[in-house]
Amino acid sequence: MKIYLTISLVLISLFLLIPGVSQPMLTMTGTIDKAQLVETGLDMFTDSLSDNARDNTRGMLDMAVSMFGLDKIEGEVEVFRKTRSILDTVNELYQSNNILVAALVGLFSIVIPALKLTLMLIASLPITSKIKQIINLIIGFVGKWSMADVFVVALIIVYMAGNASAGMGELLQTYANFEVGFYYFLAYCLFSIASHALFNMQQTQAKPQPISTN
Protein backbone atom coordinates (compact mmCIF):
# COMPACT_ATOMS: atom_id res chain seq x y z
CA MET A 1 0.00 0.00 0.00
CA LYS A 2 2.81 2.41 0.89
CA ILE A 3 4.54 1.83 -2.43
CA TYR A 4 1.42 2.96 -4.33
CA LEU A 5 1.16 6.04 -2.11
CA THR A 6 4.82 6.85 -2.76
CA ILE A 7 4.38 6.48 -6.52
CA SER A 8 1.26 8.66 -6.41
CA LEU A 9 3.04 11.42 -4.48
CA VAL A 10 6.04 11.32 -6.82
CA LEU A 11 3.79 11.56 -9.89
CA ILE A 12 1.85 14.45 -8.37
CA SER A 13 5.15 16.21 -7.61
CA LEU A 14 6.29 15.79 -11.21
CA PHE A 15 2.99 17.10 -12.58
CA LEU A 16 3.17 20.11 -10.25
CA LEU A 17 6.79 20.85 -11.17
CA ILE A 18 5.95 21.39 -14.86
CA PRO A 19 3.57 24.36 -14.38
CA GLY A 20 5.68 25.44 -11.40
CA VAL A 21 8.60 26.28 -13.70
CA SER A 22 6.66 27.21 -16.87
CA GLN A 23 3.78 29.32 -15.54
CA PRO A 24 4.29 32.96 -14.42
CA MET A 25 5.64 33.04 -10.89
CA LEU A 26 5.93 36.73 -10.04
CA THR A 27 4.67 40.03 -11.41
CA MET A 28 6.63 43.19 -10.61
CA THR A 29 4.83 46.51 -11.03
CA GLY A 30 6.50 49.93 -10.85
CA THR A 31 4.62 53.17 -10.23
CA ILE A 32 5.65 56.79 -9.82
CA ASP A 33 3.69 59.45 -7.98
CA LYS A 34 2.48 62.01 -10.53
CA ALA A 35 3.29 65.04 -8.38
CA GLN A 36 6.75 63.71 -7.68
CA LEU A 37 7.22 63.03 -11.38
CA VAL A 38 6.43 66.68 -12.19
CA GLU A 39 8.84 67.90 -9.51
CA THR A 40 11.60 65.61 -10.74
CA GLY A 41 11.07 66.77 -14.32
CA LEU A 42 11.42 70.41 -13.25
CA ASP A 43 14.58 69.61 -11.32
CA MET A 44 16.12 67.77 -14.25
CA PHE A 45 15.33 70.67 -16.63
CA THR A 46 16.67 73.43 -14.39
CA ASP A 47 19.79 71.46 -13.43
CA SER A 48 20.88 71.60 -17.08
CA LEU A 49 20.86 75.42 -17.05
CA SER A 50 23.56 77.81 -15.91
CA ASP A 51 23.51 79.18 -12.38
CA ASN A 52 22.36 82.64 -13.53
CA ALA A 53 19.37 81.36 -15.49
CA ARG A 54 18.39 78.58 -13.12
CA ASP A 55 16.56 80.63 -10.46
CA ASN A 56 14.59 82.74 -12.94
CA THR A 57 13.64 79.74 -15.06
CA ARG A 58 12.58 77.73 -12.01
CA GLY A 59 10.39 80.58 -10.83
CA MET A 60 8.65 80.82 -14.20
CA LEU A 61 8.15 77.06 -14.34
CA ASP A 62 6.69 77.02 -10.83
CA MET A 63 4.21 79.71 -11.86
CA ALA A 64 3.21 77.71 -14.94
CA VAL A 65 2.82 74.54 -12.89
CA SER A 66 0.62 76.36 -10.37
CA MET A 67 -1.42 77.99 -13.16
CA PHE A 68 -2.25 74.66 -14.79
CA GLY A 69 -2.85 72.97 -11.44
CA LEU A 70 -0.02 70.49 -11.89
CA ASP A 71 1.13 71.14 -8.31
CA LYS A 72 -2.13 69.62 -7.07
CA ILE A 73 -2.12 66.56 -9.28
CA GLU A 74 -2.78 63.28 -7.48
CA GLY A 75 -2.43 59.59 -8.20
CA GLU A 76 0.25 57.33 -9.63
CA VAL A 77 1.31 56.35 -13.12
CA GLU A 78 2.40 52.79 -13.93
CA VAL A 79 5.74 52.82 -15.72
CA PHE A 80 6.31 49.10 -16.12
CA ARG A 81 4.86 45.66 -15.47
CA LYS A 82 7.02 42.57 -15.71
CA THR A 83 5.85 38.97 -15.31
CA ARG A 84 8.31 36.09 -15.28
CA SER A 85 8.34 32.34 -14.79
CA ILE A 86 11.43 30.30 -13.90
CA LEU A 87 11.88 29.36 -17.57
CA ASP A 88 11.50 33.01 -18.58
CA THR A 89 14.16 33.98 -16.05
CA VAL A 90 16.56 31.33 -17.37
CA ASN A 91 16.00 32.59 -20.92
CA GLU A 92 16.44 36.23 -19.84
CA LEU A 93 19.70 35.42 -18.06
CA TYR A 94 20.92 33.56 -21.14
CA GLN A 95 19.97 36.40 -23.49
CA SER A 96 21.86 38.87 -21.27
CA ASN A 97 25.01 36.66 -21.55
CA ASN A 98 24.78 35.43 -17.95
CA ILE A 99 25.14 31.90 -19.29
CA LEU A 100 26.66 30.34 -16.17
CA VAL A 101 23.96 31.78 -13.91
CA ALA A 102 21.26 30.67 -16.36
CA ALA A 103 22.71 27.15 -16.40
CA LEU A 104 22.84 26.98 -12.59
CA VAL A 105 19.28 28.26 -12.19
CA GLY A 106 18.04 25.72 -14.74
CA LEU A 107 20.06 22.94 -13.11
CA PHE A 108 18.90 23.50 -9.54
CA SER A 109 15.29 24.48 -10.22
CA ILE A 110 14.44 22.15 -13.13
CA VAL A 111 16.97 19.40 -13.89
CA ILE A 112 17.83 18.21 -10.36
CA PRO A 113 14.21 18.17 -9.06
CA ALA A 114 13.00 16.31 -12.17
CA LEU A 115 15.93 13.87 -11.97
CA LYS A 116 15.36 13.15 -8.27
CA LEU A 117 11.64 12.51 -8.72
CA THR A 118 12.22 10.31 -11.78
CA LEU A 119 14.79 8.20 -9.92
CA MET A 120 12.47 7.86 -6.93
CA LEU A 121 9.73 6.68 -9.26
CA ILE A 122 12.01 4.08 -10.86
CA ALA A 123 13.29 2.90 -7.47
CA SER A 124 9.72 2.37 -6.28
CA LEU A 125 9.06 -0.06 -9.12
CA PRO A 126 9.89 -3.79 -8.92
CA ILE A 127 13.50 -3.78 -10.14
CA THR A 128 16.58 -5.76 -9.17
CA SER A 129 18.21 -4.97 -5.84
CA LYS A 130 21.51 -4.07 -7.54
CA ILE A 131 19.91 -1.42 -9.77
CA LYS A 132 17.86 -0.14 -6.85
CA GLN A 133 21.04 0.21 -4.76
CA ILE A 134 22.72 2.25 -7.49
CA ILE A 135 19.64 4.47 -7.86
CA ASN A 136 19.47 4.99 -4.09
CA LEU A 137 23.10 6.13 -4.08
CA ILE A 138 22.34 8.67 -6.81
CA ILE A 139 19.21 9.84 -4.97
CA GLY A 140 21.26 10.26 -1.80
CA PHE A 141 23.74 12.45 -3.66
CA VAL A 142 21.06 14.48 -5.43
CA GLY A 143 19.12 14.82 -2.18
CA LYS A 144 21.90 17.00 -0.77
CA TRP A 145 20.65 19.73 -3.09
CA SER A 146 17.00 19.27 -2.15
CA MET A 147 16.58 22.83 -0.86
CA ALA A 148 18.51 24.48 -3.69
CA ASP A 149 15.33 24.91 -5.77
CA VAL A 150 13.72 26.97 -3.01
CA PHE A 151 16.88 29.07 -2.75
CA VAL A 152 16.83 29.62 -6.52
CA VAL A 153 13.24 30.90 -6.38
CA ALA A 154 14.30 33.41 -3.71
CA LEU A 155 17.17 34.54 -5.96
CA ILE A 156 14.78 34.97 -8.89
CA ILE A 157 12.55 37.24 -6.79
CA VAL A 158 15.55 39.33 -5.70
CA TYR A 159 16.85 39.44 -9.29
CA MET A 160 13.53 40.71 -10.64
CA ALA A 161 13.20 43.30 -7.87
CA GLY A 162 16.74 44.54 -8.49
CA ASN A 163 16.19 44.88 -12.24
CA ALA A 164 12.88 46.63 -11.69
CA SER A 165 14.27 49.40 -9.49
CA ALA A 166 17.67 49.78 -11.19
CA GLY A 167 18.51 53.39 -11.89
CA MET A 168 15.22 54.78 -10.54
CA GLY A 169 16.21 55.36 -6.92
CA GLU A 170 13.45 56.37 -4.51
CA LEU A 171 11.32 57.79 -7.31
CA LEU A 172 10.00 54.36 -8.27
CA GLN A 173 7.69 52.36 -6.02
CA THR A 174 7.71 48.65 -6.79
CA TYR A 175 5.06 46.09 -5.93
CA ALA A 176 5.24 42.31 -6.25
CA ASN A 177 2.37 39.88 -6.74
CA PHE A 178 2.72 36.12 -6.71
CA GLU A 179 1.21 34.42 -9.74
CA VAL A 180 -0.14 30.91 -10.28
CA GLY A 181 3.32 29.46 -11.00
CA PHE A 182 4.46 30.28 -7.47
CA TYR A 183 1.62 28.28 -5.93
CA TYR A 184 2.26 25.35 -8.27
CA PHE A 185 5.92 25.41 -7.26
CA LEU A 186 5.00 25.68 -3.57
CA ALA A 187 2.68 22.67 -3.92
CA TYR A 188 5.47 20.79 -5.72
CA CYS A 189 7.84 21.47 -2.81
CA LEU A 190 5.34 20.18 -0.24
CA PHE A 191 4.48 17.02 -2.20
CA SER A 192 8.17 16.45 -2.98
CA ILE A 193 9.10 16.60 0.72
CA ALA A 194 6.26 14.21 1.60
CA SER A 195 7.17 11.76 -1.18
CA HIS A 196 10.85 11.81 -0.24
CA ALA A 197 10.05 11.14 3.44
CA LEU A 198 7.74 8.26 2.53
CA PHE A 199 10.30 6.92 0.05
CA ASN A 200 13.02 6.90 2.72
CA MET A 201 10.69 5.14 5.16
CA GLN A 202 9.87 2.55 2.52
CA GLN A 203 13.53 1.94 1.73
CA THR A 204 14.40 1.59 5.43
CA GLN A 205 11.68 -0.99 5.97
CA ALA A 206 12.82 -2.89 2.88
CA LYS A 207 16.33 -3.41 4.28
CA PRO A 208 16.90 -6.91 5.66
CA GLN A 209 16.85 -7.01 9.46
CA PRO A 210 19.86 -8.58 11.26
CA ILE A 211 19.24 -12.08 12.56
CA SER A 212 19.27 -12.33 16.34
CA THR A 213 21.73 -14.84 17.84
CA ASN A 214 19.79 -15.19 21.10
> What is the structure's pLDDT at 213?
46
> What is the structure's pLDDT at 61?
61
| Angstrom distance (rounded) from CA 52 to CA 85 | 52
Is 55 domain-assigned?
A: no
> What is the structure's pLDDT at 202?
73
Condensed to tens digits (0 to 9), the pLDDT of residues 78-95 reads 777 888 888 888 888 889
Condensed to tens digits (0 to 9), the pLDDT of residues 115-159 reads 888 988 888 888 788 888 888 888 888 777 666 666 666 666 666
| Angstrom distance (rounded) from CA 38 to CA 43 | 9
Is 139 domain-assigned?
A: yes
Q: How many domains does the chain have?
A: 1
Listing DSSP states for 129-188 in one string gives HHHHHHHHHHHHHHGGGTTHHHHHHHHHHHHHHHHHHTTTGGG-EEEEEE-HHHHHHHHH
> What is the structure's pLDDT at 184?
93
- Cα dist. 104→99, 144, 200 in Å? 9, 15, 27
Check which CATH number belongs to the domain holding 161 and give it: 1.20.140
| Angstrom distance (rounded) from CA 46 to CA 135 | 69
Instruction: Report, as ranges of residue numbers, the positions in the chain whose pLDDT lies below 50.
Output: 167, 209-214
> What is the structure's pLDDT at 64?
60
> What is the structure's pLDDT at 57?
64
Is 39 domain-assigned?
A: no
Question: Which residues, 6+ apart, have CB-to-CB distance to 191 below 8 Å?
Answer: 9, 12, 13, 16
Is 200 domain-assigned?
A: yes
Q: Which residues pair with 174 in a beta bridge?
A: 30
Is 13 domain-assigned?
A: yes
Question: Which residues, 6+ apart, have CB-to-CB distance to 5 below 8 Å?
Answer: 198
> What is the structure's pLDDT at 55?
59
> What is the structure's pLDDT at 211?
45
- Closest alpha carbon to 32 in 41, 23, 19: 41
| Angstrom distance (rounded) from CA 101 to CA 152 | 10
Is 49 domain-assigned?
A: no
Dihedral, 131, 135, 136, 140 alpha carbons, nearest 10: 160
> What is the structure's pLDDT at 79?
72
Is 45 domain-assigned?
A: no
**Residue 141 domain boundaries:** 2-33+78-205
Is 212 domain-assigned?
A: no
Q: Which residues pair with 176 in a beta bridge?
A: 28
- Closest alpha carbon to 148 in 207, 82, 192, 199: 192
> What is the structure's pLDDT at 18?
92
Q: Could you give the count of Cα atoms lying within 13 Å of 213 in the half-sphere of its Cβ?
A: 0
